[in-house]
């Protein structure tokens, strides 16, 4: 990507074996306080935008009208692994709406949690759409659709649900989106700049300091994420691990192709980053480095050490090198 800079290095022995380049922006209350690469690079935020996509669900009053709990609000922001504690909640949620698996438009895939996948295989079952890592987001879309009275094709970009999502997305990023791509779960994913995404995260980080339905909705979404870190991703996944390691002081959401975001309410800070080659290991390392820089994550915490300034080991446990932040970054 044009304008990207070195963010993460992978060393094997004394030789730099791999460099991951990218862009990152840290914003506090609407002002950029740190930036690397090109802050104006246009990206698809992918799943890191899920709390933006869930904003109309809460802001419209649909969540209250349907009596949604905080765990359901968290699932609307989630990229889950398909564990039973994820899928059971999603199945009950859509059943409460009087809907079933066929009403989803996200597509089916096997659970990514190994135990859940193996249980499904042993039982002779087939993957359903509620196993999809985005099924919580789609349950949120279906709930909003019930509230607005739209047709069944709620992922159509011209559907009232997606028009509401785009309007909210553009308002919190502070930018008119130049377009959209169709995500893995078939929903439109609206493009923005890295700065726009960081600006959106900073509005979530400062939620509760303003007034109105949007401020309350953003605060509720952040609160649900930090209250249920296991629902946002799953055991062993970076989003869940980071939120736990930061003691509930940070909300984190990753996205495909090397995107990551974070919201830090006590600092009023939003973070957005994009790794040019799409590597998840680099996205997680870069976010860990920024969280350490901002004092949110202890550099010696096992979670931090797993992701950045971390020894690389082979299958015998021998240390072969190190994954670390590039010089000058974080």
Q: What is the pLDDT of residues 80-114, one digit of tens each?
A: 999 999 999 999 999 999 999 999 999 999 999 99
How many angstroms separate the CA atoms of 292 and 295, rounded?
5
φ, ψ of residue 120 in degrees (nearest 5): -65, -40
Q: How many CB atoms lie within 10 A of CB 2?
A: 8
How many angstroms separate the CA atoms of 247 and 62, rounded?
30
pLDDT at 1: 75
Could you give the domains of the chain?
5-325 (3.40.710)
Question: Tokens representing 317?
Answer: 């446990």
> Do the Cβ atoms of 77 and 221 come closer than 8 Å?
yes
pLDDT at 99: 98
pLDDT at 330: 75
pLDDT at 35: 97
* Regions of the chain short of the pLDDT cut 50: none
pLDDT at 122: 96
Best CA proximity match to 218, nearest among 330, 102, 54? 54
pLDDT at 156: 98
> Do the Cβ atoms of 243 and 252 come closer than 8 Å?
yes
Question: Tokens representing 41?
Answer: 């690079």
pLDDT at 30: 86
Question: pTM for the full model?
Answer: 0.96
pLDDT at 314: 95
Summarize pLDDT for 181-206 with one digit per residue, the tens.
999 999 999 999 999 999 999 999 99
């Amino acid at each position: 990507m044009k304008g990207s800079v070195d963010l993460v290095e992978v060393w094997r022995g004394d030789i730099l074996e791999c460099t991951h380049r990218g862009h990152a922006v840290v914003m506090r209350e609407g002002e950029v306080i740190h930036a690397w690469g090109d802050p104006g690079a246009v990206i698809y935020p992918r799943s890191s935008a899920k709390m933006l996509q869930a904003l109309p669900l809460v802001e419209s009053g649909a969540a209250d009208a349907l009596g949604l709990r905080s765990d359901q609000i968290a699932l609307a922001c989630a990229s889950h692994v398909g564990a039973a504690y994820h899928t059971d909640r999603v199945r009950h949620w859509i059943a409460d709406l009087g809907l079933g698996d066929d009403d989803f438009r996200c597509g089916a895939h096997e659970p990514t949690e190994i135990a859940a996948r193996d249980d499904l295989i042993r039982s002779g079952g087939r993957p359903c759409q509620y196993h999809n890592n985005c099924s919580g987001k789609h349950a949120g879309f279906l709930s909003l659709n019930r509230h607005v009275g739209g047709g069944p094709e709620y992922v159509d970009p011209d559907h009232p649900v997606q028009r509401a999502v785009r309007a909210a997305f553009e308002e919190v990023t502070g930018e008119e989106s130049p377009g959209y791509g169709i995500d893995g779960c078939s929903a439109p994913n609206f493009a923005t700049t890295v700065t726009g995404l960081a600006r959106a995260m900073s509005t979530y980080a400062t939620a509760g300091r303003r007034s109105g339905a949007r401020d309350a909705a953003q605060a509720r979404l952040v609160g649900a994420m930090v209250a249920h870190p296991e629902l946002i991703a799953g055991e062993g996944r970076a989003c869940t691990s980071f939120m736990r390691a930061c003691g509930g002081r940070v909300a984190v959401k990753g996205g495909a192709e090397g995107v990551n975001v974070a919201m830090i309410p006590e600092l009023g800070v939003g973070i957005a980053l994009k790794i040019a080659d799409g590597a998840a290991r680099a996205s997680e390392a870069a976010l860990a480095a920024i969280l350490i820089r901002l004092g949110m994550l202890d550099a010696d915490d096992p979670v931090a050490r797993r992701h950045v300034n971390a020894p690389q080991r082979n299958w015998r446990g021998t240390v072969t090198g190190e994954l670390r932040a590039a010089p000058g970054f974080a």
